[in-house]
Amino acid sequence: MNVPLSWLKDYVDVDAPPEELARRLTFSGTEVAAIRTVGSSFDGIVVAEIVETAPHPDADDLLVCRVKDGRRVVRVVCGARNFAVGDKAPFAPAGCRLPGGRAIGATEIRGVESEGMLCAEDELGLSDDHSGLLLLPRETPAGAPLAEALGPPETVLDVEVTWNRPDCLSIIGIAREVAALFGGKVKLPSVVFREDGRPVEELAKVTLEDAQGCLRYTARVLWDVKQAPAPLWMRRRLSLCGARAINNIVDITNYVLIECGQPLHAFDYDLLADHHIIVRRARPGETMATLDGAPRCLTPDMTLIADPRKAVAVGGVMGGAGSGIRPATTRVLLEAATFDPLRLHRASLALALSTESSYRYERGVDVARVEWCSRRAAALMTELAGATAARGVIDAYPNPQAERAIRCRYGRVRALYGVETPDDRVVSILESLDLPVVSRDAESCVVLAPSFRPDLEIEADLIEEVVRVNGLDKAPTLTPSALVAPDASDAPAQALIRCRSNLVGLGLTEIMNYSFLPAELLDRFTPGETARRVALPNPVSADYAVMRDSLIPQMADTLGRNRFRQVEHAAFFETGRVFLRDDSGVIHEEERLALGLMGAPGRTALDARKPAQAQESFLWLKGILEQIARVQRVNDLAFAPFEHPALELGRTVAVIVGEAPAGVAGLLRASLGAEYRMNGPVAIAEMSLAPLLARAFGAPELKPVPAFPSVTRDVALVAPANLTNEAIARVIRRHAPPELTSVELFDIFSGEGIRKGYRSLAYSLVYCSAERTLTDEDASRYHAVVKNALTSELGVEIRDK
Amino acid sequence: MTSAEIARTRDEALAEIRVAETLRALEAVRVKYLGRKGLLPQIMKGLKDLPEQNRAAAGLEANELKSRVGEAIEQRGAELGAAGPAREPFDPTLPGLWHRPGAMHLISRVIEDVTRICARIGFTVADGPDVETKHNNFDALNTPERHPSLDPRDTFWLETGECLRTQTSPVQIRVMKSRPPPVRVITPGRCYRRDTTDATHGANFHQIEGLYVDRGVSLADLKGTMAYFARELMGPAVKVRFRPHFFPFTEPSVECDFSCHVCGGAGCRVCKSSGWIEIAGAGMVDPRVFEFVGYDPEEFTGYAWGFGVERVAMVKYGLGDIRVLYENDLRFLEQFA
């Protein structure tokens, strides 16, 4: 909200410089985001009288004007239309500069010479209004410097008002804050005017049917209204606050809105059927056109202002198209009301219509001051628009709001604030904010919360008032001491931290993707899973339409994007949640880990150029899974053949922990890889994170370090190429004596000397006893058993040296 | 010849042996010490001039010296001989054999830093789901129905009536409902708001909040904790200041600025010349929140604070655009190794 200082000073005496004012406001909760100066010395720009206008001979949208600048009459070409002969407007003669720096010269505009420029507000740097010339009062002498007509530059505070303080959405509300901070009293404007017409009850009628939706409705009637531009000072103030001047009647309602925070609506009295206002709920299917011309579909939870024939406004949101002030209007029905904030908020949401009025109503407008604000507007209308006011006001206020008495205990203030605040100080701060303290005792005082402060409900709210006015900076800074809260374990979080650091230690780089992604991406990886997906009813865009049910698509996408950016080798991991819907529609979340490898991340500089092979990529991936399982103390990791729509058939395994499937690992389908222009294998795994975290802090199962030396024997065999390493190792383990402590594959060979379709595998077997030193004979005996088993069970050929 | 002199002779001899770069140089050292007219035979000869009672000990030392020098010459000779013309070429400037290091994501790094800093004063980590109930995300946090944060233009509401949490504060509700005070937790986690992605916003972001509930907690404790936290996270010279603000779930509510860690408060690009950077929201827990979770607001008070992880990451590491955090370009990520 913009607060022009000169306007503020109408209601409170304050001499502090703007910077000090801004600082004090900011540090008491009313943040001043900026201090702006509007206006300048307007060097060379004068007030000119328009003495003649004529159409431009060669351009329909331009006028050729003759203007008197005090010394002579000059010709000016002008694009605005909002003026008549005799009007006064700012004139920048050729040779001067506009406040923005633009030089004005004599030019020819479509064949007609123009010796300067008549100015709109934006050209003078006053606002961004370019709707027409800035019209000055007709009594301003032609030739007077513009600075004299407009007065000195204005200082405007740009104030950010928090949601809980609707009272500060007004100049008077800010003045109240300033008065509390700097001392002093708020001076309210005059609301005295002559009510010399007929009683209002004879002229209009108000029926308040929807008393839940509309808490209070007041109506005044004024006639003999003389429409004209509002006085310059009022137009200037509205302009400084970002409101556009329209005519004196509408401008007065806007002025009072900004001044007091009370939205008002001026109806054309003669457009209201029977001069009867009915405040009611909208009927099902009812429609109306609002001021902005848009047709609106209404629902019964909206409060309407209507006459017996038609709706004339969506209460508190926007007026209707056919009942507002028009050029012919001479009689006005002035509405000032309050509406239920929640109902109004819902109406504003449903209509997707937010106005200055609805913005204030949904935060809370002071119900007690409605009538006063109506009087303020009526006083201005009689003073500035020559209106005659009917006697009295129609005031439908069926359920007057009770004032809340709130007790504030001094001890509680000190306990929460941490500052020894004297009792009298507490009371004086509350009173300085216009919060009446109605009683006091030794421990506490009682405040009657005024209706302009809907945010004050409980003691803590009053304590906040004391704290923010007295100053947060006064609270001491206590050095924190540690606390051990019982029953507080964060082992899962700590296990994740350990797991992450272990993954980094294994050479993986962590990535992070959004939790939502385009449905199309999921379709490419896991088609047919759509029923289990969680789609967002109101996504920001199609790119973020569905919650991820797998980390694989984004992992592939990330690798692809890096590949596209000329990154050759990468080893990534991501931990994150996936979202799955079960058959009954309940959404489940699961923490997952994804791994992704491309290029030759496991190799070093000297052999990085050799292209990665499918087998090699897979084994890197598998190795990482095995290693992370090991350091996270998972000792029952296994793999089994598996299928996954995004992974290559026959090159994919299920990751199994204990007996339970925990995830999948494999090579990205070549067709998907091709979409990302991958030129080599891409290995991807995804598994549930829980099994990796469950035992992270468990003690290892210790085995004694061998006390006796071991004996190592190798065995090489030739086997069909489709006989797996695991099958061979399993036979070795099953038949070897307990003294076998490890089996390690150390060579694979095919080619020269080996039949086609076969390969040679060489294993190193270590035998060791816990009781004695094994002899050569022992080892030979054990080894013979193993070799026999291999030939008899698998039919492989043992290669002896 | 005293023991000290013998020791000095030994040190000198060993040093000369060590620096002998060729067999010839080594031979010269041998002659100097062990040769017929070398230093050691002279020492031996000098023994007989010593007083009777010292002679035996000095003899032992001299013999030991002789054998040490002899061994050293032999050993160095073997080294120089083996490293003769048959040595393999050796280039210490070849690239080292790397096990390429990985890197933690910057967001994880900030979360882990904060977790570690807070753990020192007894904060444990608490967690909750991303899909939250309206009750936990709004109602129990004293957020009225008409507060703009519930607006479907700002919050992702799901068909189930739940929402994607807009803050990690609902975890505070879960924690307080599950156990009695004292409570001291931080709640790092992912949050969602319907923001259009730009340089400083994303619809998906992370928050960390802290909550402390106990008897006698005051604003002074909150200030002290934030001051400690600012120093630990951003640097020892960083100060904090509070400005009153509004949040539905705290009363009083404050915004917490950190003095600029780059310019020290003098004003620079990072702090937009103000010397201060807005970092966190905080306040004393609203008694109405305590009522929702069944804590007695007369007996207990508490503070809560929270901030955006991405924002802190950007401020701390001088990033101009939040999107770089979710692009996952290896060349960016690996700089945090």
Shortest CA gap B232–chain A (Å): 13
* Dihedral pair phi/psi, residue A642, rounded to 5°: -160, 160
Provide the percentage of residues in chain A whose pLDDT is more than 70.
100
**Kind and range of the H or E run holding A531:** none
Task: Read off the pLDDT of each residue in A328-351 and give the average, rounded to a whole number.
Answer: 95
Provide the percentage of residues in chain B whose pLDDT is more than 70.
98
**pLDDT single digits (tens) A249-271:** 999 999 999 999 999 999 999 99
b or e along A353-389 (b: 16 or more beta carbons within 10 Å of the residue's beta carbon)? bebebbebbbbbbbbebbbebbbbbbbbbbebbebbb
ipTM of this model? 0.89
Nearest chain B residue (CA) to A483: B122
Mutation target among A498, A510, A559, A577 for the B interface, most CBs of B within 10 A: A510
CB contact under 8 A, B287 and A341: no
Q: Between residues 208 and 247 of chain B, which touch chain A (CB distance below 8 Å)?
A: 212, 214, 216, 218-221, 223-225, 227-228, 241-246
CB contact under 8 A, B124 and A508: no
Cα A232 from Cα A138, distance rounded (Å):
10
CB contact under 8 A, A473 and B241: yes
The letter for the amino acid at A605 is A
Would you report the helix, strand and coil content of chain A in percent, each value rounded to 5?
A: 30, 30, 40
**pLDDT single digits (tens) A714-760:** 999 999 999 999 999 999 999 999 999 999 999 999 888 889 999 99
Give the number of other Cβ atoms within 10 Å of residue A407's Cβ: 15
Q: Tell me the two tokens of residue B77.
A: 């000779």
CB contact under 8 A, A163 and B246: yes
Predicted local distance difference test score (pLDDT) of residue A272 = 96
Q: Chain A contact for B130, CB < 8 A?
A: yes
pLDDT band at B84 (very low <50, low <70, confident <90, very high): low
- Asked if residue B135 has pLDDT above 90, the reply is yes
**pLDDT single digits (tens) A678-694:** 989 999 999 999 999 99
**pLDDT single digits (tens) B209-268:** 999 999 999 999 999 999 999 999 999 999 999 999 999 999 999 999 999 999 988 889
Predicted local distance difference test score (pLDDT) of residue B32 = 87
Q: Are A738 and A766 in contact (CB under 8 A)?
A: no
CB contact under 8 A, B197 and A540: yes
Nearest chain A residue (CA) to B145: A342
Of A415, A460, A567, the CB nearest to B251: A460
b or e along A452-486 (b: 16 or more beta carbons within 10 Å of the residue's beta carbon)? bbbbbebbbbbbbbbbbbbebeebebbebeeeebe
Predicted local distance difference test score (pLDDT) of residue A498 = 96
Nearest chain B residue (CA) to A29: B244
Shortest CA gap B33–chain A (Å): 47
Shortest CA gap B187–chain A (Å): 10
Give the number of other Cβ atoms within 10 Å of residue B187's Cβ: 25
pLDDT band at B177 (very low <50, low <70, confident <90, very high): very high
Of A399, A326, A334, A306, the residue nearest A200 (C-alpha): A334
- Asked if residue B50 has pLDDT above 90, the reply is no
CB contact under 8 A, B220 and A497: no
Q: Are B252 and B284 in contact (CB under 8 A)?
A: yes
What is the residue-wise DSSP string for A268-316?
A: EGGGSGGGEEEEEEPPTT-EEEBTTS-EEE--TTSEEEE-SSSEEEETT
CB contact under 8 A, B252 and A464: yes
Predicted local distance difference test score (pLDDT) of residue A484 = 85
Cα A424 from Cα A412, distance rounded (Å):
14
Give A349's contacts in chain B (Cβ within 8 Å): 151-152
Give the number of other Cβ atoms within 10 Å of residue A664's Cβ: 21
Nearest chain A residue (CA) to B284: A416
The count of CB pairs under 8 A between chains A and B is: 248
Q: Between residues 11 and 50 of chain B, which touch chain A (CB distance below 8 Å)?
A: none
Q: How do strand A73-78 and strand A59-68 relate by DSSP bridges? A: antiparallel
Cα A450 from Cα A438, distance rounded (Å):
12
Predicted local distance difference test score (pLDDT) of residue B49 = 79
Q: Chain A contact for B254, CB < 8 A?
A: yes
CB contact under 8 A, B184 and A507: no
Q: What is the mean pLDDT of chain A?
A: 93
Give the number of other Cβ atoms within 10 Å of residue A344's Cβ: 27
**CA atoms lying within 13 Å on the CB side of residue A235:** 19
Nearest chain B residue (CA) to A476: B220
Give A477's contacts in chain B (Cβ within 8 Å): 220, 223-224, 227
Q: Who wins on pLDDT, A800 or A665?
A: A665
The letter for the amino acid at A442 is A
Bond from prior residue into A645 cis (ω within 30 degrees of 0) = no
pLDDT band at B81 (very low <50, low <70, confident <90, very high): confident
Q: Tell me the two tokens of residue A428.
A: 């004086």
Give A468's contacts in chain B (Cβ within 8 Å): 244, 252
Using only the alpha carbons of chain A, give its radius of gyration.
41
Predicted local distance difference test score (pLDDT) of residue B54 = 77
The letter for the amino acid at A569 is H
3-state secondary structure of A104: coil
CB contact under 8 A, B333 and A493: no
CB contact under 8 A, B337 and A509: yes
Q: Residues A774, A775, A780, CA angle at the centre, nearest 5°? A: 105
CB contact under 8 A, A510 and B288: no
Predicted local distance difference test score (pLDDT) of residue B101 = 87
Of A488, A396, A407, the residue nearest A441 (C-alpha): A407
Q: Give the burial class of A511: count Cβ atoms within 10 A of its Cβ; 0-12 exposed, 13-18 middle, 19 or more buried.
A: buried
- Asked if residue B85 has pLDDT above 70, the reply is no
Of A482, A510, A558, the CB nearest to B122: A482
Q: Tell me the two tokens of residue B142.
A: 């004293």
Nearest chain B residue (CA) to A589: B129
Of B112, B254, B333, the CB nearest to A497: B112
CB contact under 8 A, A483 and B125: no
Predicted local distance difference test score (pLDDT) of residue B91 = 84
Cα B306 from Cα A38, distance rounded (Å):
38
3-state secondary structure A155-224: EEEEEECCCCCHHHCCHHHHHHHHHHHHCCCCCCCCCCCCCCCCEHHHHCEEEECCCCCEEEEEEEEEEC
b or e along A182-221 (b: 16 or more beta carbons within 10 Å of the residue's beta carbon)? beeebeeeeeebebebeebeebbbbebebbebbbbbbbbb
Predicted local distance difference test score (pLDDT) of residue B87 = 62
Predicted local distance difference test score (pLDDT) of residue B228 = 96
Q: Chain A contact for B95, CB < 8 A?
A: yes
Shortest CA gap B311–chain A (Å): 16
Rounded to 10 degrees, the C-alpha dihedral B124/B130/B136/B137 comes to 110
Cα B240 from Cα B226, distance rounded (Å):
7
Cα A566 from Cα A516, distance rounded (Å):
26
Shortest CA gap A529–chain B (Å): 18
Bond from prior residue into B252 cis (ω within 30 degrees of 0) = yes
* Dihedral pair phi/psi, residue A144, rounded to 5°: -65, 145
CB contact under 8 A, B254 and A497: no
Q: Is B283 left (phi over 0), alpha (psi -120 to 50) or beta?
A: left
Instruction: Give, in order, the Cα–Cα distances in Å from A633 to each of A423, A677, A705.
Output: 62, 38, 19
Nearest chain A residue (CA) to B215: A415
Q: Quick one: DSSP state of residue A611?
A: P
- Asked if residue B16 has pLDDT above 90, the reply is no
CB contact under 8 A, A417 and B219: yes
Predicted local distance difference test score (pLDDT) of residue A69 = 87
CB contact under 8 A, A460 and B127: no
Of B224, B252, B253, the CB nearest to A480: B224
